[in-house]
Amino acid sequence: MYNCIMKAKRTGEGNVKTKHVSNAAARDEVSHDLKRRKKLDKPAQTQKERVFELVRSGKADTVSEISGILNLSKMSVYRYVRALAHEGKISKTFNKLYPYSEAEIAGEKSPVTGKCEICSKQITDERLKVVINFKDGRKLQFCCAHCAIIAAVHSVDDLNSISSIMGMDFIYGNPLDIRNGFLLFKTDVIPCCSPPILVFARQSNAERFQAGFGGDIISFDDIISHMKF
C-alpha cells in the first residue's frame, strides 16, 4: 500500500514537471509567433520611399541610377521623382537629384549665419550663399559663388570628394547645385565679391540678365579652369 502511494506521488510530481515544461514551451511558441506576426504586419517600403531613400543617402542622384538599382522603368522613376519634388522632399536640377534637409522638409528656413570661409565676410544674403557639401559629411559655407569656386579651386584637394555645391537661382531663389547651373561671370551687377559670379538655373534667364548687365555665360567646369591662376 505504501509503495503504491509513493509511486502515485512520484507520478504526480512528474506530471506537474511535465506540465510546467509544456507551458513554458507553449509560451515561447506564442512569443515567437507574435514576433513573427509583428514583423509580417510591418508595412513594406513603397517604391517612392525607396527612391527617396536612395537620393537621401546619396547612393543615387540620377534617374538612370535609380532605375538600374530598383529595376524600374525610367518613366516610373520620373513619376516618383515628380511626387517627391511636389512634396518638397527633393530638388531636381537638370539631370541631378538632391535631398532637402530635414529642417527644409519640415518647412523651416535655415538661418543665414556665420562667416565666409574665404573672405570672412558675414553671410547675410540667403540668395547668394553657397555651401560645399562633402561626401564625408563636412560642410563649408561661403558668402557667394565667387568665394565658393575659389575654395573649390584652391582649398579642396579632390573635387570628387564633394557631393554637392548648393546655391540658389539668382532670380527665383530655387536651390540648385551650381555645377549644373549657368554662371554669369563679370557682370556689371556686383551684389557681393568681385568679379561677380551669378547663378541661374536656366540659360534663357542668364541670357536676359546678360543682355541688360553684360558678362559672360560659362559652365562650372569652364570657370574652374579660368580661376586656376
> Is 145 found in the same domain as 221?
yes
> Is 135 found in the same domain as 221?
yes
Q: What confidence tens digit (pLDDT) does each residue in 193-226 have?
A: 999 999 999 999 999 999 999 999 999 988 888 7
> Is 209 found in the same domain as 134?
yes
Q: What confidence tens digit (pLDDT) does each residue in 134-151 have?
A: 888 889 999 999 999 999
User: Could you tell me if residue 32 is inside a domain?
Assistant: no
User: Could you tell me if residue 134 is inside a domain?
Assistant: yes
> Is 142 found in the same domain as 82?
no
Q: What confidence tens digit (pLDDT) does each residue in 147-183 have?
A: 999 999 888 878 888 888 999 999 888 888 899 899 9
User: Could you tell me if residue 183 is inside a domain?
Assistant: yes
> Is 175 found in the same domain as 89?
no
> Is 158 found in the same domain as 99?
no
Q: How far apart are CA 151 and CA 74, in angstroms?
A: 36
> Is 135 found in the same domain as 99?
no
With a cut of 50, say whether residue 16 has pLDDT above it. no
Q: Number of folded domains in the chain?
A: 2
Task: Domain of residue 141: give its range.
Answer: 130-226
> Against a cut of 0.75, is the pTM above it?
no
